Chain A
Amino acid sequence: MQIKKRAAAVALLTAATVVLTGCASGSTTSSGGDAAACEPSEGKVDLTFTTWIPGMEEVVAVWNEENPDVQVKVQTGPNGNGGTYQNFFNQLKAGNAPDLGQIEYDALPNFRVQDGLMNLAACEGVLDAKADFVDWTWGQVNFGEDDAVYAVPQDAGPMAMFYRADLFEANNIAIPTTWEEYAVAAEAVRATGGYITNFSQSDINQFAGFVWQAGGSWFENDGDNWTIDLTSPESVKVADYWQDLIDRDLVSTNPPWTDEWNNAYNTGSNWTWNSAAWGANSIASGAPDTSGNWSVALSPQWAAGDNAAGNWGGSSTAVFTGSKHPYEAAQFALWLNTSDEALTMLNKSANLYPAAKSGLELPALKEGVEFYGGQAIYDVFAEASGHVSPDFIWGPTMTQVYNDTSDGFKGAVTGNGTLSDALTSAQKSTIDALEAQSIPVNK
């Protein structure tokens, strides 16, 4: 076990020029999936695809109709962290993983370190597809290696600011365009009795998005070692900024995704939400009474005149090691994530915001949205998507990072320590966690 993990880690870090068959050292006999050549299989091919996205069956039915020789069967389960990732790991160990799986960007490094992903670079059309996707999403799936592609990007969560246009106007408060203005506006909003926003104490992804926007990155991999940067200057800057707002009682600290959180938005006590494209529906369902009063603007900036955006969420379609038909699986993954037909259906059934450039131009994403006063909000997200930094890298133990950071943040919002203390302690526990898995770390 330990040896196998170390072998996997070493395989990752020797910047594999040899592709996957070479890496699968520790595992059992290679079951025929020759990704190095990635040749089409003979005859009819059956693929399995595990995903938790609702409505995927209908999308896949379209593919099956058009490709009688490559039939895809959809399998399902709870969302990734809800159990499906653990299932993937179990199945990889037992040698019966599906051909394809849904994996969020922040979980990809974990699968890569455990040698679970097939490098699709040799498969026809995969490397060329780079141009079809928004730049930073490609960086999430190739880990900075030019001749590697470990998954095909599916959706993205570029962040912008949802705000109550009516309240800002009625109270004569200018829409903040920088974080400095945001803090000033927060005071004005507090004076009216409301809160400018809610600080997410337990969903660390939002905070990661802020750090991403500020130009920071929590991890780095130089080919040999991982560097952990939870306490980078950018990260601490963001933490101190929010700590200040929390200290001055200018933001509320309801646990996210709860009824009280929804209620704070529904009753107009919270005025803005810095969130991702997919958040548009969360507000619409959580705060139905405020329909028509919301608008969307680009995120506030750290320096006036900038246009940086963060990202929150997003996932990819990966091919697992052990798949006997990497060629067909890769073709399906490309179709699923670039064809207008599939992207439109996924957007409709699951609110997925495409990672493909062409997807940003879908007619469905050009329309005005009634809940937002008829504003064509996705134009804002399309612009934000182009300004997301490609340099943010996730680590191999994100579940642990989220848990440890969240523990510290929960303390900080109740006056127990600060957000940057929480980052410092999470930094330490993350180093421990990586070392416990024999993953080399720069200290």
Chain B
Amino acid sequence: MSTLTPTTPAKPTRGIRSTEAKAPRAQRESPFARVSAMIVMGVFTLYFLVPIWWLLVAASKSRSQFNSTNPLWFADFSLFENIGNLMAYRDGVYLKWMLNSALYAGGGALVGTIIAGMCGYALAKYNFPGRELIFNVVLGGVLVPATALALPLFLIFSQISLTNTFWSVFLPSLVSPFGVYLARIYASASVPDELIEAARLDGAGELRTFFTVSVRMMVPALVTVFLFQFVAIWNNFFLPLIMLRDETLFPVTLGLYAWNSQVNQIPVLRDYVLIGALLSIIPLIIIFLLLQRFWRNGLSAGSVK
């Protein structure tokens, strides 16, 4: 904003608010607006970061210090000792959970993004009867919360004896109506028909056109879909809760929840839940930092077009 304002100094006599002689005219109102914006953002930042800070501090404490010391500041730093204990507990079942989460979320988001991308692309670029109907049905899918589908899915999977397997959580994770929606909107806006036509004239098949030409133009949307899907699967709790009984198949959310339901009677689990929760958000943070550049592009591009 300030780069656009003229550099001529304002007259010092003008207006009570321009106390600084050098303050440009157009900026006279901005310090207040700026400060209040900063305050609002600061409050929200605090609001979002304090729980994480609390978690970090709590995870670094030994059990005896957990209740007796300031919850927002460190006592003796035993974070690594706690991590060691967590990894050792029950032969490192926690690591297994993290690995499962990575498989469900990583694999599910990858395959789910490809499916959603192809589906959205097809809906955007091919004319066929029933196209709008299909799209509207998919849109309706956005409105149905995933939790509402968990129980019917369980009954269906029971019929084919697939409950309590890797697939019982993985297969439902591949579906992303929102992803289809986003991919369609983005594909129709950013992939020119002429380009597809040109690819066809050059002899490329439809699949090849999609993967070599269209996908490259859809990358920001696809990354967005991937991120959404990754976070949604990573945080999906209800489906694994209903489907899984074998501890070695649990994702980390369900595992921690199961432990947390025991803390009244097995107090040591509280430490593991805290430290486990802290570690479980690290992959999400990493993937956000890596992909946020694409995501931001994707969001703004989508909003303009």
User: Is A77 within 8 A of B68, CB to CB?
Assistant: no
* Contact A76 B163, CB 8 Å, known A93-B155, A257-B264, A266-B67: no
Interface of chain B: mostly helix, strand, loop or mixed: helix
B197 within 8 A of A: no
Which B residues touch A281, using CB under 8 A? 265-267
Q: Kindly state the separation between the CA atoms of A423 and B50 in the bound complex, as whole angstroms.
A: 40
Which B residues touch A50, using CB under 8 A? 245
Which of B6-14, B117-125, B184-192, B254-262 contacts its partner? B254-262
Q: Kindly state the separation between the CA atoms of A38 and B31 in the bound complex, as whole angstroms.
A: 83
Q: Kindly state the separation between the CA atoms of A48 and B159 in the bound complex, as whole angstroms.
A: 19
User: Is A285 within 8 A of B151, CB to CB?
Assistant: no
Q: Kindly state the separation between the CA atoms of A284 and B67 in the bound complex, as whole angstroms.
A: 12
User: Is B67 within 8 A of A288, CB to CB?
Assistant: yes
* Contact A83 B241, CB 8 Å, known A75-B246, A77-B258, A288-B67: yes
Closest B residue to A155 by beta carbon equals B265
B295 within 8 A of A: no
A78 within 8 A of B: yes
Which B residues touch A76, using CB under 8 A? 245-247, 258
Write the nearest CB–CB distance from A410 to chain B, whole angstroms.
19
Q: Kindly state the separation between the CA atoms of A91 and B264 in the bound complex, as whole angstroms.
A: 27
Q: Kindly state the separation between the CA atoms of A79 and B269 in the bound complex, as whole angstroms.
A: 13
Write the nearest CB–CB distance from B93 to chain A, whole angstroms.
10
Closest A residue to B154 by beta carbon equals A90
- A 70-99 to B, binary, CB cutoff 8 A, 1 in contact else 0: 000001111100110001001101111010
Which B residues touch A257, using CB under 8 A? 263-264
Contact of B262 among A75, A79, A96 (CB under 8 A): A79
Q: Kindly state the separation between the CA atoms of A286 and B68 in the bound complex, as whole angstroms.
A: 10
User: Is A54 within 8 A of B67, CB to CB?
Assistant: no
B300 within 8 A of A: no
B268 within 8 A of A: yes
Contact of A286 among B155, B242, B267 (CB under 8 A): B267
- A 56-68 to B, binary, CB cutoff 8 A, 1 in contact else 0: 0000000000000
Which A residues touch B266, using CB under 8 A? 54, 281, 350-351
B25 within 8 A of A: no
Number of chain B residues close to chain A: CB under 8 A: 34
Write the nearest CB–CB distance from A288 to chain B, whole angstroms.
4
A259 within 8 A of B: yes
User: Is A263 within 8 A of B265, CB to CB?
Assistant: no
Interface hits, B218-261 → A, CB 8 Å: 241-242, 244-247, 254, 257-258, 260-261
Q: Kindly state the separation between the CA atoms of A48 and B246 in the bound complex, as whole angstroms.
A: 10
Closest B residue to A58 by beta carbon equals B90
Q: Kindly state the separation between the CA atoms of A84 and B154 in the bound complex, as whole angstroms.
A: 14
- B 36-66 to A, binary, CB cutoff 8 A, 1 in contact else 0: 0000000000000000000000000001100
User: Is A75 within 8 A of B245, CB to CB?
Assistant: yes
Q: Kindly state the separation between the CA atoms of A82 and B259 in the bound complex, as whole angstroms.
A: 11
Contact of A90 among B151, B258, B261, B262 (CB under 8 A): B151
- A 339-381 to B, binary, CB cutoff 8 A, 1 in contact else 0: 0000000000011000000000000000000000000000000
Q: Kindly state the separation between the CA atoms of A239 and B265 in the bound complex, as whole angstroms.
A: 26
Q: Kindly state the separation between the CA atoms of A263 and B68 in the bound complex, as whole angstroms.
A: 7
* Contact A262 B67, CB 8 Å, known A87-B242, A94-B154, A351-B265: yes
Which B residues touch A262, using CB under 8 A? 67
B158 within 8 A of A: yes
- Best-surrounded residue of B67, B90, B244, B270 (most CB of chain A within 10 A): B67
Q: Kindly state the separation between the CA atoms of A323 and B246 in the bound complex, as whole angstroms.
A: 18
User: Is B155 within 8 A of A282, CB to CB?
Assistant: no
Write the nearest CB–CB distance from B91 to chain A, whole angstroms.
10
Q: Kindly state the separation between the CA atoms of A430 and B155 in the bound complex, as whole angstroms.
A: 30
A289 within 8 A of B: yes
Q: Kindly state the separation between the CA atoms of A287 and B264 in the bound complex, as whole angstroms.
A: 13
User: Is B154 within 8 A of A82, CB to CB?
Assistant: no
Which A residues touch B68, using CB under 8 A? 266, 288-289
Which B residues touch A54, using CB under 8 A? 90, 262, 266, 269
User: Is A285 within 8 A of B268, CB to CB?
Assistant: yes
- A 261-299 to B, binary, CB cutoff 8 A, 1 in contact else 0: 011001000000000001001101111110000000000
Closest B residue to A291 by beta carbon equals B64
User: Is A288 within 8 A of B262, CB to CB?
Assistant: no
Which A residues touch B257, using CB under 8 A? 78, 82-83
* Contact A77 B67, CB 8 Å, known A54-B269, A94-B158, A282-B267: no
A-side interface residues toward B, CB under 8 Å?
Answer: 48, 50, 52, 54, 75-79, 82-83, 87, 90-91, 93-96, 98, 257, 259, 262-263, 266, 278, 281-282, 284-289, 350-351
B-side interface residues toward A, CB under 8 Å?
Answer: 63-64, 67-68, 71, 90, 151, 154-155, 158-159, 161, 163-164, 241-242, 244-247, 254, 257-258, 260-270
What 6 A-B pairs come out closest when comparing CB atoms? A285-B267, A94-B158, A75-B245, A82-B261, A79-B261, A78-B261
Task: List 5 A-B pairs, Cβ < 8 Å.
Answer: A78-B258, A82-B258, A83-B257, A96-B158, A288-B67
- Other 11 A-B pairs with CB < 8 A, given A54-B262, A282-B267: A54-B90, A76-B247, A77-B245, A78-B254, A78-B258, A82-B261, A95-B158, A259-B67, A286-B267, A288-B68, A289-B68
